[in-house]
Chains A and B, each alone.
Chain A
Amino acid sequence: MRKVLYSKNLSIGYHTKKGNTIIAENLNLDLHEGKLITLIGANGIGKSTLLRTITGIQKPIQGEVFLNEKNINSYHLEELAQNLSVVLTEKLPPSNLTVYELVALGRQPYTNWIGKMAPEDIEKVINAIELTNIQEIIQKKHFEISDGQLQKVLVARALAQDTNLIILDEPTTHLDLHHKVSLFKLLKKLSATMGKCILFSTHDIDLAIQLSDEMIVMTKNKIVQEDPCKLIEMGVFNTLFEDEDIVFDAEKGKFLFK
């Protein structure tokens, strides 16, 4: 399978006045086509920094990130938008945007200066709407739908952007179990049937273990990328939280609390 994104000896962190603060060093991550990959780690461990670095928002301290065989920092903005789409945690500003218009904005990297949609663009938008199963709400305003629906709409927008890599920052937060599972399954379906590479950060570790093809686990000492069963064998999950009250039960595949 083709590598969509990989990093080479990547060090992530941020610049401060006193010098560089390094969060993780020597990362060699490989993201393949058709895989659903989850990124997990405790709060404040640096998940956002990692995501910001591999989406090109933040420059790496050292090393390089390659997206479709090209250094991510050498992409032209519009070209990058044709290769990478994102779903962010931030709230949308107030506006009258309808669901359809919101999804259609995903075509911006392909339209002309005035944003005119060609028949092909409209086809891609409709396709994205059908894949995410949001046909019923496309005429509603984006503030009229539930959080669960909104996440699907944002995924549809990313799909309309027609990139082979989609990165989502904690898309399952604020959702109830039903909507969490349904979003997980949607992402799983998209990666399996459309051949997309989907990477997302989450705190729903139980779900991630059951549903993702690979996991990237961030702990204080190291970052590992493996498939979930291997990670359980390796006992990585016990080191996830530095808390003696939380123990990972390898047989049941979930966390127990003392």
Chain B
Amino acid sequence: MANKKRNTLLFFLLGFGLLALLLINISFGSVTIPFKEVIKSLTGGQASKSTWEYIIINYRLPKAITAILVGMGLSISGLLMQTLFRNPLAGPYVLGLSSGSSLGVAFVILGASIMPAFLSSFLLSSYGVVIASTLGSFTVLLLVLLVSQKLRDTMAILVVGLMFGSFTSAIVGILTYFSSAEQLQKFTFWSLGNLGNLSWLSIVILTIAVSIGLLMSLVCIKPLNALLLGENYARSLGLNFKKTRLIIIFATSILAGSITAFAGPIAFIGLAVPHMAKLLFQTSNHFILYWSTLLIGATIMLICDVVSQMPGLEVTLPINAITSIIGAPVVIWLLVRKQKIVS
């Protein structure tokens, strides 16, 4: 079939693009390092300057890996939610999952001083932040789900997500009012989003969390295809809807929660990337969409990261700003096109 050939070619190109962007991403930065030296350090050889090697191994490589994990995880969680909620505009950020995570993290960072000492030291560790963030996104997703059961209109779910977003940011606002300047700075930096500054240990934790989320989503591919016909048809095909929904919720909470914990709330990737995959491959088959969303998600995140530290710029721009600048127009374009999607 012609489609099959086209898909193979697309996958090949995407894989190649991802690899190329990974190298480009690592080559760019505030310190100029020749491309040859980058390859040398990556392949285990000695770079001409030890500082170059140090920058690449301990700063740029972890950042690139984080970007890939973040891109993959957020995009897949967006794909899962768009099918589950039968809503093309669903995504972890739009549905308020990221705000839920923020709330969890805000409680931990800003509220740690109120807790007993042994508890606050645990809470402020990487584990504490991850757990709080995952719990936050899980709670919000459950609430959105609960409300969405009462609403037949899928568009209303977006409004609900938006409301949860404002609600949580209001609570965060109240918390910041009572916290010290140091805590506030820490939280503000976190909330701007940052792919760098992750220790190798944090990357290992993030990798494990994202892998679990991605594996759970992999199991959902067949049920997700059934859900393309709607809940009732899916049931008539032997799908255990409640079980599937639970797996999807867990997977998306783990993905969105852990990623938000480490990299901050990152907007629009989860919403926009699945649509790029759908447009590129012209299909709804989740077996193809899963892999293409993974590849495109990782690629887009690497691009955003390169843009955020444009060579020649002294400072690194917050990653959240970049994804929003790219993502918001995509959403508006989708809304305009919505007529076509729905009919």
On A, residues with C-beta under 8 Å from B are 55, 57, 77-82, 84-86, 88, 90-98, 101-102, 105-106, 108-109, 111, 113-115, 143, 161
> Do the beta carbons of A113 and B232 come within 8 Å of each other?
no
* Choice from B86, B219, B238, B285 contacting A78 with Cβ under 8 Å: B238
Is the CB of B215 closer than 8 A to any CB of chain A? no
Chain B residues contacting A96 (CB-CB under 8 Å) are: 278, 282-284
Complex A-B: 15 CB contacts under 8 Å: A77-B240, A81-B236, A88-B230, A88-B232, A88-B236, A90-B233, A92-B230, A96-B282, A106-B237, A108-B222, A111-B222, A114-B287, A115-B222, A115-B225, A161-B237
Q: How distant is A157 from chain B, measured CB to nearest CB, in Å?
A: 8
* Choice from B232, B283, B284, B287 contacting A90 with Cβ under 8 Å: B232
> Do the beta carbons of A102 and B229 come within 8 Å of each other?
yes
> Do the beta carbons of A93 and B226 come within 8 Å of each other?
no
Chain B residues contacting A86 (CB-CB under 8 Å) are: 233, 236
Is the CB of B342 closer than 8 A to any CB of chain A? yes
Q: How distant is A169 from chain B, measured CB to nearest CB, in Å?
A: 10
Chain A residues contacting B235 (CB-CB under 8 Å) are: 57, 77
> Do the beta carbons of A95 and B284 come within 8 Å of each other?
yes
Q: How distant is A70 from chain B, measured CB to nearest CB, in Å?
A: 15
> Do the beta carbons of B233 and A108 come within 8 Å of each other?
no
> Do the beta carbons of A77 and B226 come within 8 Å of each other?
no
Q: Return the 3 tightest CB-CB contacts between A and B, nearest first.
A: A81-B238, A78-B238, A115-B222
| B214-254, CB < 8 A from A | 219, 221-222, 225-226, 228-230, 232-233, 235-240
> Do the beta carbons of A108 and B228 come within 8 Å of each other?
no
A130 to B157, CA, bound (A): 41
Question: Known interface pairs A94-B341, A115-B221, A115-B287. Does A85 touch B236 (Cβ–Cβ under 8 Å)?
Answer: yes
Majority SS at the chain A contact face? loop
Q: Whose C-beta in chain B lies nearest to the C-beta of A84?
A: B236
Q: Whose C-beta in chain B lies nearest to the C-beta of A85?
A: B236
> Do the beta carbons of A93 and B287 come within 8 Å of each other?
no
Q: How distant is A29 from chain B, measured CB to nearest CB, in Å?
A: 20
**Contact bitstring B141-158, A, C-beta under 8 A = 1, else 0:** 000000000000000000
Chain B residues contacting A108 (CB-CB under 8 Å) are: 222, 225-226, 237-239
Q: How distant is B310 from chain A, measured CB to nearest CB, in Å?
A: 36
On B, residues with C-beta under 8 Å from A are 86, 88, 219, 221-222, 225-226, 228-230, 232-233, 235-240, 278, 282-285, 287, 341-343
A94 to B340, CA, bound (A): 9
Q: How distant is A77 from chain B, measured CB to nearest CB, in Å?
A: 5
Chain A residues contacting B229 (CB-CB under 8 Å) are: 92-93, 97, 102, 105
Q: How distant is A49 from chain B, measured CB to nearest CB, in Å?
A: 15
Known: A55-B236, A90-B232, A114-B222. 5 other contacts (CB 8 A): A79-B238, A93-B228, A96-B284, A108-B222, A115-B225
* Choice from B222, B237, B285 contacting A81 with Cβ under 8 Å: B237
> Do the beta carbons of B237 and A109 come within 8 Å of each other?
yes
Chain A residues contacting B342 (CB-CB under 8 Å) are: 94
A91 to B231, CA, bound (A): 11
A56 to B69, CA, bound (A): 43
Chain A residues contacting B283 (CB-CB under 8 Å) are: 96, 98, 101
Q: Whose C-beta in chain A lies nearest to the C-beta of B85?
A: A93
> Do the beta carbons of B343 and A143 come within 8 Å of each other?
yes
* Choice from A98, A105, A109 contacting B225 with Cβ under 8 Å: A105
Question: Known interface pairs A77-B239, A113-B222. Does A97 touch B284 (Cβ–Cβ under 8 Å)?
Answer: yes
Q: How distant is A158 from chain B, measured CB to nearest CB, in Å?
A: 9
Question: Known interface pairs A108-B238, A113-B222, A115-B222. Does A101 touch B285 (Cβ–Cβ under 8 Å)?
Answer: yes
A92 to B225, CA, bound (A): 13
A254 to B153, CA, bound (A): 41
Question: Known interface pairs A88-B232, A108-B222, A115-B221. Does A77 touch B282 (Cβ–Cβ under 8 Å)?
Answer: no
Q: Whose C-beta in chain B lies nearest to the C-beta of A167?
A: B236
Question: Known interface pairs A77-B239, A80-B238, A94-B341. Does A105 touch B228 (Cβ–Cβ under 8 Å)?
Answer: yes
A80 to B285, CA, bound (A): 24
A126 to B332, CA, bound (A): 40
A143 to B342, CA, bound (A): 9
A109 to B240, CA, bound (A): 12
Q: How distant is A5 from chain B, measured CB to nearest CB, in Å?
A: 15
Q: How distant is B84 from chain A, measured CB to nearest CB, in Å?
A: 11
Question: Known interface pairs A114-B287, A115-B222, A115-B287. Does A77 touch B230 (Cβ–Cβ under 8 Å)?
Answer: no
